[in-house]
Amino acid sequence: MKRIISTTDAPKAIGPYSQATEANGMLFISGQIPIDPATGKFVEGGITEQTEQVMKNIGAILKAAGYDFCDVVKSNCLLSDMDHFAAMNAVYGKYYAENPPARAAYAVVKLPMGALVEIETIAAK
């Protein structure tokens, strides 16, 4: 059975998708961009600040579903420019200091709303 996860502590979906869905002990979090849920706007700053907000959004969704960062098994990081990789990686690494999940990182032509980073996440219990 599929369960839809939604929290006001993360940005509302900007399209026809859920913040996350859970099925068979796995949580699938939609790609998160650096929107501050309190303002509905992008956080100010560059890739470091944007990545920090994305990780906060992911953390809020994990918590709402009863998961934690230690339950994350896979992430896909989408970057507007691979020159942002090192800075994104430094922030990302703070959230996965031990036993980090599998991950891929890609540069893409463009991200929603002009974001510099988007991260989608899969967690499992």
pLDDT at 1: 86
pLDDT at 40: 94
How do residues 44-101 score in pLDDT, each as one tens digit? 999 999 999 999 999 999 999 999 999 999 999 999 999 999 999 999 999 999 999 9
pLDDT at 23: 97
- Please give the model's pTM, rounded to 2 decimal places: 0.96
pLDDT at 69: 98
Burial track 31-42 (b if 16+ CB lie within 10 A, e otherwise): bbbbbebeeeeb
pLDDT at 15: 87
Query: Locate tokens 């900007």: which residue?
Result: 14
In sign, the C-alpha dihedral spanning 68, 69, 71, 75 is positive
Of 84, 79, 62, 88, nearest in space to 114 by CA: 79
Of 79, 65, 71, nearest in space to 33 by CA: 79
How do residues 1-33 score in pLDDT, each as one tens digit? 899 999 999 999 888 999 999 999 999 999 999
Domain map (residue ranges) of the chain: 2-124
Contact between 71 and 63 under an 8 Å Cβ cutoff? The reply is: no
Burial track 10-21 (b if 16+ CB lie within 10 A, e otherwise): bbeeeeeebbbb
> Superfamily assignment of 2-124 in CATH?
RutC-like (3.30.1330.40)
